[in-house]
Structure 1
Amino acid sequence: MKMSPDELEMEVFQRIDAAIRDGVAPLGLLFHGTGEPINGQLKPGGYDNVLWTSDSPVIAQSYIPNSGITMYMHRPSSYRMTERVRPQEHSGWNELAKQISGQECFDITFQHGEVSSWRIPSDWPTYGDCWAFLTSKNGLGYPDEETIEVSQAGSDEGWKFMAASYQLPGHLFITLGEPKNFSDLRTSDEPDLTSVDYHQTKAFESAWNERKFGVMINDFAQMKRWGNVGHRSYGFSPETAAVTQWIAIPATHYEPTDWDGFSKLTPELKAWHAEMQEKYAVPGLTR
């Protein structure tokens, strides 16, 4: 039955409210996290023609990238700290120097793919300047370690180095859903890294040809803190995805600090719940 946006919002809120009240994971809800800009309806992925969801908001938000891309930067040798940055193509140091100075080198010539001569602006940074910008509190705030993983985000001017605290803005999409509606295509009781279920593209195609609502598989979420975390994924067919109603809330990448956190709500979902409490001041709901 098609709901109005307000009816869907209220139903989702009540289920999350019940989960908080009872101290359990949300029941009857499915979640999809993404850092991609979404215009219109959520659509299946190109590889498998499936729109994947999780019954855990924590798992769903772990799929939102932490940043657009990341780059590993190594501390320059001491003798290079006073050298001006070479304007080598596709060099992170060159891109960082341009970002710091707002300028770039000119009259650059190349030989065999390597920069051979160039002219620099008067205040062109050294490698030491760049490293200090990366690791200082007044700069981007990364730890002063031998190797650091640096976040970048796309802009109109290209890729920009972001602060250590940066997280790519994304969304957590929420809909109603019951596991019983999904055809079980799990190949084992527990997730198995040696035989992953998400490559069953022919089985997914057969299910869609049979007009199945969706499929259920064992899956893995890759997290820095926890490694490969096994979970169940619920995949909507293209036909189901086209008519599924969602609510969306702003969200970023999230990983719990302890194992119990996997059964709880994410900070963004808690904040949304608090906001809805103010909107729906209904007697009997959690305060």
Structure 2
Amino acid sequence: MSPVSPSVIAYGFGAVFGILAVVYFARDILLSLSVTSKLALLYAGSLSLLAVGVFGDGATSLVGFVIGGAGYAVASFYLVKWYKWRRSGRFVISAISAVLFVCLGWLLSSGVINGEIELAGATGVILGGVAVTLAAVDRNEGEVVRYKLTIAETIDPGTDRIGTVEVTNESALFRHAFELPSFRCVVENGPVEQRIPITVGSVVGSDASATIGAGETCDAPIQIEWRAVEKQLEEAELSFPDSYETSVTGEDAHRFTTEAGETINVELY
């Protein structure tokens, strides 16, 4: 007779795939929602499964605890990342979570908590209803993150900053992720056209996610690497002009709106 029951193996695989489902759900399926709604759905699902763990029985209780605990950990990770919590914030969420789970374990071991699986179902319905309502309000807002670009009409060589990307979250309630546009820049010197490196400065720390709160606005500098321009002009034996005029392909003005992740073509001549 096998020392391990087939039902235990089945429950184990169920728990593993449940955890994977939580991770992929958080990463891929919730892309169209704000980070606020994503967190609400993740926490609602995780706490519902933890309720199954508390009020369930046997293997059902074990699976509920495993998947719910993993979901809670994923949600807490994204909470810290999306809301740009620094070291103190990470400590606070970790400390609070540790206290909550230790207290839950003590209440379970002492027999203080008593209930039926129906109570877990009612808890899931309430939490899920709140989260889904929040997500519906979020979807109803539509696209609320705006990107406004300002490009200087005349640029003097050596001036690194040639423009600004302004990101605004017009939502009244929800925090959103954003993706800055990229740039392609060329310099025209008579018959010669040269590709020049151009970068958009970061508006978040290296350890934080690119998110913006409701009603907030942030700016990112658009910068050109002039040493690369000088090097290419020297190699082509071309003179260095006193200033450059700029044009933006497809736009009539030097101040315009664009979409997330779009590539903007800038020409210097």
Fold match, TM over 0.5? no
Higher relative contact order (CA 8 A, sep 6+): 1
Higher helix residue share: 2
TM-score normalized with structure 2 length = 0.21
The structure number with the bigger radius of gyration is: 2
Give TM-score scaled by structure 1 length: 0.20
